[in-house]
Amino acid sequence: MEAFFIRLSIKMKKYILINILFVVIYANELVFSPIIYANYESNGGTWDSTEKSIGVGGWGLTMEGYVDNFKISMDAYNNRFFGLVDKPNYFSQEQGLSWVGNDPEGEQFDFDVTNIKLSYDYKTIVFEMGKYNRHWGPGNSSLILSSNVPSFAQFGFNWNINSTLNFEYFHGSLRSLIEDDINSAVYEGIGAEVPEYNRYVVGHRINWDLSENLTISASETIVYGVRNIDLLYLLPFAPFLSLQQYKGDLDNIQWGLDIDWHITDNYNLYFSFLMDEWDPSMTFDKPNRNWFGYQIGTKIKDRLIDNDSFILEYNWTDHRLYRHQNAINDYYSHGYPLGFWAGPHAQELYLNYTFYKFNSKFSIIYSNAKRGELTDQMLQDQYDNIVYSRFSNISESLETFKILISRELKNGFEIHFGFSNIYWNNANFNPFISEQEGLVNSNKNSFSFGFSYNFDVFTQSSKIDNNSVRKIISL
């Protein structure tokens, strides 16, 4: 059976490569455009708790191609951080890094980013495969699946069943960071990392438009590992709960429910609920098994001036979410949570007001986030139904107020400026250890400026501007 899965995995990789090559070779046209960006923080921003200058820059290419019903998009760019020797602060809304390469010449390191997506549009179904991000839910943040983690390899489809029903399914490969003791010796002295146990995530989601103004969505995801791709989880329409019980209740399952109510064209309310585990008979007891997460928010457009937008959102997660008694099933990739960016045992109040004036984009952003401990003892206690008082020991809080201004000068070339006031309590906090060292309190201001070309610095995503330099190859 193991040999079968290995052959299946090899065949899938070959199939993906063949389809990508097919689109590239037979595309009606390929559009290539350069990526370049730089960003500087005078006092480090939220990248680091210290008051020191930190910068980041990168360059690369972005590409799009079409052939009949096939579409391919790809971006690949190399980056360098200046002023840091390792990944920036994990307690951040920015997308995490998958790999770093330290530079022996000083306080700097390189990292690469590559995203690729191949899709095939067949009537009401779009089949997808590649390495990219996925965001589920109506909010700015997501409790069940967000783009906070580095992009990961996945395949799936999106099916518009009818005018009111939509169904999504995907199966993806994550990075567990758990060393594979059995195979480590085989790779000893080879590469910068050690072999790790497999970890996969599977999800399906149904979106139902009850009316023109009201949408309800239900999601189910599951994380499993150690073994190769499980055939059971290749059944997109079967309930994952029954499938994982058939396997012996080994895996980590999450359920999500979203409600998105568009009261008017310019005003909507939304609510998200995430459940990891629940015992109805204990709902109002202490202890209980209400392993829940909540999100409530609103989005308002064209309220004060034309083309402005306002977001107000609150997120709350229980300390028992995302983690599993078997660490291989933790709801993480590369050490970052797949759902809410702050992880379990956390909360955030978020506000964002954006408007356009003087040919520029202005954003005023406020975030007040907090997270608590996630120790091994807490993990054991949650399965023994031992009560834990929220934030009862050490916790970290990060309050930020930002003003960002960006403007396109010419042909897709943008400049941006910003100011941040940061109050950081217990920075350098590691929620997974009991004994904390090196905690500091920081209250600082940081000024930022930079430029970008075919790249959004704030969302960390590439684009091909209509006016930017490009190379079009017609085939």
Q: Is the pLDDT at 398 greater than 90, yes or no?
A: yes
Q: Which two tokens stand for residue 97?
A: 């890094």
Q: Whose CA is closest to 98, among 52, 179, 153?
A: 153
Share of the chain above pLDDT 90, in %: 71
pTM for the whole structure? 0.89
Q: What is the pLDDT of residue 428?
A: 93
| Mean pLDDT value of segment 115-121 | 94
Q: What is the pLDDT of residue 8?
A: 44
Q: Is the pLDDT at 427 greater than 80, yes or no?
A: yes
- Residue scoring higher pLDDT (269 or 245): 269
| Mean pLDDT value of segment 281-287 | 84
Q: Is the pLDDT at 267 greater than 90, yes or no?
A: yes
Q: pLDDT tens digits for 161-210? A: 999 999 999 999 999 999 888 777 777 666 556 789 999 999 999 999 99
Q: How confident is the model at residue 5 (pLDDT cuts 50, 70, 90)?
A: very low
Q: What is the pLDDT of residue 30?
A: 80
Q: In the predicted model, what is the mean pLDDT of the chain? A: 89
Q: What is the pLDDT of residue 100?
A: 81
Share of the chain above pLDDT 70, in %: 91
Q: Is the pLDDT at 327 greater than 80, yes or no?
A: yes
| Mean pLDDT value of segment 126-138 | 95
Q: Is the pLDDT at 22 greater than 60, yes or no?
A: no
Identify the weakest region by mean pLDDT among 6-20, 92-106, 162-176, 233-247: 6-20
| Mean pLDDT value of segment 329-353 | 96
Identify the weakest region by mean pLDDT among 176-190, 247-261, 266-280: 176-190
- Residue scoring higher pLDDT (99 or 341): 341
| Mean pLDDT value of segment 65-93 | 90
Q: What is the pLDDT of residue 45?
A: 93
Q: What is the pLDDT of residue 2?
A: 43
| Mean pLDDT value of segment 452-462 | 87
Q: How confident is the model at residue 6 (pLDDT cuts 50, 70, 90)?
A: very low
Q: Is the pLDDT at 11 greater than 60, yes or no?
A: no
Q: What is the pLDDT of residue 4?
A: 42
Identify the weakest region by mean pLDDT among 8-12, 326-330, 458-462: 8-12
Q: What is the pLDDT of residue 20?
A: 52
Q: Is the pLDDT at 475 greater than 60, yes or no?
A: no
| Mean pLDDT value of segment 433-446 | 92
